[in-house]
């Protein structure tokens, strides 16, 4: 990926089903759970580097003993390290002060922080609110009543945050912040309070004392009902994980499965996380034992260790985000690896066409690191093509002689490591400036890999803004003097903003959008069309069905016209070589990634009403020249 996009968060919820002594005895450490969480978070680092957080709950503590621990770090890019350094130091220091805790579990629970049975971790790329420590998950809603303590961490973005916020005010609340995680948490918290109150009233009527009621509340608390009430009006993509003070754990997934969640359990642990491959590695769990949490369902682990799923929302048509497969998730998941390779392979024909099938004078490379797997797929396609042409040539030979065969078999696909990704250089300037500065310094090239008579094909997994390509990569590649540079995008043209978790909220930032605008300007219909779309956006109702008015912009403009214009925009300044950009087709995307049908950023087909609203808002921002995220 040449453009950086802030995007997903990663969650991991872990419940140790055996007593803590069990893990000490079997694995030699009381910190077994924490170590597993550390690994799970590290392996989901790709999903969030603005901050990281951890919370845990100790089961069955005595009144007055701390049973909730939480730590958070906002050290950008090193948050996980910093977080676990702190956790480990705190634990070691406490063991030094209370050495007897190493022998007696009751003492350990009393004195040593973080070591608990229910654990929750989060890696964050923020989409709402800034990157201050307060916005790092897990969020905590504390109460003196154990059951009302709520800890929340999520991978989510709601399209109707304003309405949600207003709904809280209508419920009589006075939210302390407008950050989306607070809104979500307060909503759940409101119905949790309500449920606990009701259960307590029932128990009182049944003659139980307050103390006797406590364990019964835990038993009778139906999390799925609380979540059903809380999520009734949520419009967005979400995986919300939570812990209740007494030790219940839950993970809820949105009804069309936009955001991913996987789970695994055996007799020792239950783990739910954003990605499957980390679970496979960290728990040495075979692929087929890890399941996807069905959309609209909540996965619950009760304090008792009972595990079950409940339907919370009516499941809709699968709209799992295809960007998860293209870029966000780690490529070592067996399915994702296969899909990315397929995406690369499906570009073979277009790539060959772009270089007139001249393999002798074409060098192939990729933009590190996330495009590597695609590249292997393209190579397979090219190798097949080469083998076919070799076969044809051999069949054409009347008498196969050694010289002719040598010539045929000496043909190779020329692979070189051309672009090199630089290590991140940290600066002290503000984020936007930082981004621009980094862009022009983020890639280098290997000299001597390309001749002036060569075409240079470089694979990129997706092109969002095209800024790094334009400002850095193409300029660097051009220094090698190739006659033609072909940039291949594994993803289709990104034409619409995302609103379910990816930081692509401004239309003007998308190079495919800018290219289309340029085309309309050239054709002389820009001003009228812009006005029409703007008026159409304004005429959409506040509630009820809303259409995506931005779609009109792409009518009558072919994919190829947009690709050619993108090529022109990217190479406008200072590029000597002929530049061609090739994008994946949406059809091929679905062929390669059949399980992830969410494609709104390419097609404008938003799966929820909120998505259409955001697209229209983004256009209004563009029209008015506002440099704002549509949310
Ligand atoms: N990327 C995410 O899932 C972000 C979660 C949440 N919206 C936040 O900004 O903290």
For residue 616, is pLDDT > 90? yes
Predicted confidence band of residue 436 (pLDDT cuts 50, 70, 90): low
For residue 352, the model assigns a pLDDT of: 98
Ligand 1 atom with least separation from CA of 180: 7
ipTM value: 0.96
Strand 150-158 to 419-421 pairing: unpaired
**Residues near 410 by beta carbon (within 8 Å), at least 6 away in sequence:** none
Residue 116 and residue 33: Cα distance in Å, rounded? 8
- Helix 161-170 × helix 180-205 angle, to 10°: 40
With residues binned 3-state (H G I as helix, E B as strand, rest as coil), the percentages for the chain, rounded to 5, are 45, 15, 40
Strand 297-301 to 362-366 pairing: unpaired
Tokens 């049944």 appear where?
A: 206
* 63 or 430: which leads in pLDDT: 63
Domains, the chain: 10-316 (3.60.20.10), 324-328+336-624 (3.40.50.2020)
How far are the Cα atoms of 12, 247, 315 from residue 332, in angstroms, in the given order?
Answer: 18, 33, 29
Model pLDDT for residues 52-111, shown as the tens digit of each residue = 999 999 999 988 899 999 999 999 889 999 999 999 999 999 999 999 999 888 899 999
CA angle 289, 291, 293 (to 5 degrees): 160
Model pLDDT for residues 406-426, shown as the tens digit of each residue = 999 999 999 999 999 987 655
Q: Is the CB–ligand 1 distance for residue 72 below 6 Å?
A: no
**Which of 161-165, 346-350, 403-407 has the highest average model confidence (pLDDT)?**
346-350
Ligand 1 atom with least separation from CA of 158: 7
Q: Is the CB–ligand 1 distance for residue 339 below 6 Å?
A: no
* 10 or 178: which leads in pLDDT: 10
Predicted confidence band of residue 430 (pLDDT cuts 50, 70, 90): very low
Residue 48 and residue 516: Cα distance in Å, rounded? 32
Q: Is the CB–ligand 1 distance for residue 2 below 6 Å?
A: no
For residue 301, the model assigns a pLDDT of: 98
Beta strands in 291-447 (DSSP E): 291-292, 297-301, 307-311, 362-366, 414-415, 419-421, 443-445
Predicted confidence band of residue 376 (pLDDT cuts 50, 70, 90): very high
Ligand 1 atom with least separation from CA of 157: 7
Strand 262-265 to 291-292 pairing: antiparallel
Query: For residue 589, how far is its CA from the centre of ligand 1 (angstroms)?
Result: 26
Model pLDDT for residues 588-602, shown as the tens digit of each residue = 999 999 999 999 999
**Residues near 178 by beta carbon (within 8 Å), at least 6 away in sequence:** 129, 161, 165
Can you tell me the mean pLDDT for 333-357? 98
Can you tell me the mean pLDDT for 324-342? 95
Q: Is the CB–ligand 1 distance for residue 126 below 6 Å?
A: yes
Nearest one of 595, 585, 592 to 380, comparing CA atoms: 592
Model pLDDT for residues 222-253, shown as the tens digit of each residue = 999 999 999 999 999 999 999 999 999 999 99
For residue 262, the model assigns a pLDDT of: 98
Nearest one of 182, 167, 137 to 155, comparing CA atoms: 137
Ligand 1 atom with least separation from CA of 126: 9
Q: Count Cα atoms within 13 angstroms, Cβ side, for 217.
A: 26
Give the pTM: 0.94
Pocket test for ligand 1, best of 9, 44, 158 (most atoms within 8 A of CB): 9
For residue 429, the model assigns a pLDDT of: 45
Q: In sequence order, what are the beta bridge partners of 14? A: 119, 271
Nearest one of 455, 349, 365, 340 to 416, comparing CA atoms: 365
Predicted confidence band of residue 431 (pLDDT cuts 50, 70, 90): low
Can you tell me the mean pLDDT for 324-333? 92
- Helix 210-220 × helix 180-205 angle, to 10°: 120
Query: For residue 430, how far is its CA from the centre of ligand 1 (angstroms)?
Result: 21
């Amino acid at each position: 990926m040449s453009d950086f996009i802030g995007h997903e968060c990663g969650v991991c919820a872990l419940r140790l089903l055996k007593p803590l002594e069990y893990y000490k005895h079997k694995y030699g450490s009381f910190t077994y759970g924490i170590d597993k969480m550390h690994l799970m978070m590290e392996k989901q680092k790709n999903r969030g580097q603005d901050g990281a957080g951890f919370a845990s709950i100790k089961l069955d503590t005595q009144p007055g003993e701390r049973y909730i621990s939480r730590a958070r770090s906002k050290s950008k890019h090193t948050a996980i390290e910093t977080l676990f350094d702190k956790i480990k130091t705190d634990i070691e220091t406490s063991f030094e002060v209370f050495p007897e805790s190493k022998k007696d579990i009751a003492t350990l629970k009393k004195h040593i922080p973080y070591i608990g049975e229910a654990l929750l971790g989060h890696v964050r790329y923020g989409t709402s609110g800034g990157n201050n420590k307060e916005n790092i998950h897990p969020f905590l809603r504390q109460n003196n009543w154990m059951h009302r303590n709520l800890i929340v961490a999520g991978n989510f973005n709601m399209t109707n945050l304003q309405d949600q916020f207003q709904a809280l005010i209508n419920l009589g609340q006075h939210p302390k912040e407008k950050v989306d995680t607070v809104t979500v948490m307060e909503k759940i918290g409101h119905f949790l309070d309500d449920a606990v109150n009701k259960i307590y009233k029932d128990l009182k009527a049944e003659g139980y004392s307050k103390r006797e009621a406590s364990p019964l509340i835990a038993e009778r608390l139906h999390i799925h009902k609380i979540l059903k009430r809380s999520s009734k009006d949520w419009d967005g993509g979400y995986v919300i994980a939570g812990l209740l003070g007494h030790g219940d754990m839950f993970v809820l997934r949105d009804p069309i499965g936009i955001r991913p969640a996987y789970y695994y359990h055996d007799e020792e642990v239950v783990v739910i996380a954003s990605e499957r491959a980390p679970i496979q590695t960290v728990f040495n769990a075979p692929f087929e034992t890890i399941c996807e949490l069905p959309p609209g369902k909540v996965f619950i682990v009760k304090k008792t260790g009972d595990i079950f799923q409940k339907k919370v929302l009516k499941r809709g048509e699968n709209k799992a985000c295809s960007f998860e497969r293209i870029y966000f998730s780690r490529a070592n998941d067996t399915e994702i690896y296969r899909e990315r390779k397929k995406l690369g392979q499906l570009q073979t024909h277009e790539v060959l066409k772009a270089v007139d099938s001249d393999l002798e004078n074409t060098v192939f490379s990729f933009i590190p690191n996330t495009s590597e797997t695609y590249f292997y797929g393209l190579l397979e396609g090219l190798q097949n093509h080469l083998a076919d042409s070799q076969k044809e040539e051999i069949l054409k030979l009347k008498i196969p002689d050694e010289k002719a065969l040598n010539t045929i078999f000496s043909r190779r696909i020329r692979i070189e490591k051309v672009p090199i990704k630089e290590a991140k250089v940290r600066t002290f300037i503000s984020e936007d400036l930082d981004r621009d500065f980094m862009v022009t310094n983020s890639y280098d090239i290997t000299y001597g890999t390309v001749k002036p008579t060569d075409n240079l094909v470089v694979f990129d997994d997706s092109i969002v803004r095209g800024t790094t390509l334009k400002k850095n990569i193409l300029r660097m590649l051009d220094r090698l003097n190739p006659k033609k540079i072909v940039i291949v995008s594994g993803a289709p043209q990104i034409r619409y903003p995302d609103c379910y978790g990816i930081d692509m909220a401004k239309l003007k930032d998308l190079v495919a959008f800018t290219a289309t605008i340029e085309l309309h300007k050239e054709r002389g219909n820009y001003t009228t069309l812009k006005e029409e779309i703007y008026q159409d956006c304004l005429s959409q109702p506040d509630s009820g069905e809303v259409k995506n008015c931005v779609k009109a912009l792409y009518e009558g403009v072919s994919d190829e016209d947009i690709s050619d214009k993108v090529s022109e925009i990217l190479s406008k300044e200072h590029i000597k070589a002929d530049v061609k950009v090739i994008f994946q087709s949406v059809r091929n995307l679905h062929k390669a990634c059949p399980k992830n049908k969410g494609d709104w950023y390419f097609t404008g087909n938003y799966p929820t009403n909120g998505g259409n609203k955001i697209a229209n808002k983004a256009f209004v921002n563009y029209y008015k020249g506002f440099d704002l995220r549509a949310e």
